[in-house]
Amino acid sequence: MTIEAFPECVPGQPQGLSLTVNGTALAEHHWQACEAWSSEIEIPGELVRVGWNELVLRYDYSARPSEVTQGANPDQRLLSVGFTRLAVLPS
């Protein structure tokens, strides 16, 4: 799996992300700043089922840009992490 992600930045509140596949924790990342993060995460073959598989991404928090910027950014969406690449490919 290839992942390239960036956090919704809230001053003084580092963002984190965890990844599970079919109930098994595979990866965790904690940002120290607003830097982009990229990684190759191997999904072991024994975790992959024939048919549907569940890939879950969890974040430490979500925030509205309008609240983080005290209204300077009017965006009301709850944001946590953005992705520039998220791909699951056979090895």
What is the band of 91 on the pLDDT scale with cuts at 50, 70, 90?
Answer: confident
**Average pLDDT for 31-59:** 95
- What's the length of the chain? 91
Number of domains in the chain: 1
Phi then psi for residue 41, to 5 deg, are -115, 120
CA dist., res. 37 & res. 7, Å (int): 9
When pLDDT is averaged across residues 63-77 and rounded to a whole number, the result is 94
Specify the pTM. Answer: 0.85
